[in-house]
Amino acid sequence: MDAPGTERQAAASPLFPAGVVQDVAFDDFDAMAAAPRAWDQHYLKLTKGRFQGLLKAAHTAGMQIGGVTWSSGVLVTGSVPRGVMTLAIPVAPDGVARTHGVPVRRDQIVSVADRDELNFTQPLGCELLALSLGYALLDRAAATFFGETWRDAVPKAPILSVLHAGRLAAEFRRLHALASEVDPACLAESGFGERLEIAAAEAVAAQVAVRQPRRMASVQRRALARRAHEYLLANESRPVGIAELCVAVGAPERSLHLAFREHFGLPPVAYLRVRRLHRARRALLDRGAATTVTATATDWGFDHLGEFAVAYRHLFGETPSQTLRRRV
């Protein structure tokens, strides 16, 4: 290694050593291949020149998130950790990266199940963003977004199409930064660690293209989306659960999600949250000194002030208090 990094340890977990944060530079590709926790992989250097690599990873009990950077072309073989699905986004020219010989386009990500052979080729130096998640987390997100398990909803393929690879990459980076900046002990705590895991699983579910089911006709989907939208507007001052919405519009969860994502670009509950954040922002700008961040958050159905502040900043690029100060 030409620049020793940091590696911090907290508690162990069934899937990953929760609390380990790695940020390590390498000049030995074999050492770099062996460094990721719970992986069994091998690097074959493909291009001439000195090798330089960087590994960044943060671990909760059920998740590993981070990425690798290579200065040289490499062939990666082996297998991913047991009990997880690994999803990777090559930050590289379109079609240069390949998995099992198939080029990865800009609107696609690499998908490797825990019992599949790992085979990734990058003939040029590149960055690869990676997320490994336990199947229970993926199933939870798939149940919310698709009304099915992950395996039933998502095609089993080495390459998955996504709606917006750039947005997913940005979310991978954001969650990795969040995990890397806190005290490592927080990653081993069930509350904080689980929130990160759920956010990662939902970020993937929101972007991945699912199997093509037997769908309703376009006019039926449009009518269903409109009914759901009207119900959400009538109740936008409070969180509406997916079960309540399904009952209100008389449709199964799967059909509702498909119709809503098609017509509004987001799952219904996520769409409602975005609308409530917009309403909260408008209230802060309109009322100024006549209100507070806490009062505004409560008025628009956000009971947890910390989560409101995080969601607000993520959507608008500034904190609620910064918005309020612009008006006061």
At residue 217, the pLDDT reads 61
The verdict on 274 and 135 lying in the same domain is no
In terms of domains, do 197 and 251 share one? no
Are residues 144 and 118 located together in one domain of the fold? Answer: yes
pLDDT for the residue 214: 45
12 and 94 part of one domain: yes
* Per-residue pLDDT, 180: 92
**Claim to verify: residue 12 and residue 115 sit in the same structural domain:** yes
Would the pTM of this model clear 0.85, i.e. be above it? no
Whether 148 and 243 map to the same domain: the answer is no
The reported pLDDT for the residue numbered 14 is 64
Same domain, 190 and 228: no
Assess whether 44 and 190 both reside in one domain: yes
Last residue of a domain, one of 207, 231, 252: 207
Residue 167 in domain: yes
Domain assignment present for 153: yes
Within-domain flag for 245: yes
- pLDDT at position 175 is 95
pLDDT at 327: 64
Task: Indicate whether 295 belongs to any domain.
Answer: yes
In a domain, 198, yes or no: yes
Alpha helices, H only, the chain: 29-34, 135-146, 150-153, 165-181, 184-188, 190-207, 218-234, 242-249, 253-264, 268-287, 293-299, 305-316, 320-327
Provide the edge-to-edge strand list for the sheet that holds 63-70: 6-8, 21-26, 53-59, 63-70, 126-134, 84-91, 108-112, 159-161
pLDDT in single tens digits along all 328 residues of the chain: 333 343 333 333 468 999 999 999 999 999 999 999 889 999 989 888 899 999 999 999 999 999 999 998 899 999 998 899 999 999 876 668 899 889 999 889 999 998 889 999 988 888 999 999 999 999 988 877 777 788 888 888 999 999 888 999 999 999 999 999 999 999 988 789 998 999 999 899 889 987 654 444 677 788 888 888 898 888 877 777 788 888 888 888 878 888 888 888 778 878 888 888 998 999 998 888 888 999 998 888 888 888 888 888 888 888 999 988 876 5
End residue of a domain, out of 154, 177, 207: 207
CATH number at residue 303: 1.10.10.60
- Whether residue 1 lies inside any domain: the answer is no
- Look up residue 208 and give its DSSP letter: B
**Do 53 and 68 touch, CB atoms closer than 8 A?**
yes
Asked which of 140, 174, 207 is the last residue of a domain, the reply is 207
CA 231 to chain centroid: 28
Do 152 and 245 lie in a common domain? no
Residues 105 and 179 both lie in one domain:
yes
Looking at the domain assignment, is residue 157 inside a domain? yes
How many domains does the chain fold into?
2
Q: How far is CA 181 from its chain centroid?
A: 17
- Name the amino acid, one letter, at 216: M
Tell me the residue range of the domain where 131 lies.
6-207
Confidence (pLDDT) at 307: 85
Same-domain check for residues 118 and 230? no
Same domain, 188 and 248: no
Q: What is the pLDDT of residue 266?
A: 79
Alpha-carbon gap, residue 178 to 189, rounded angstroms: 14
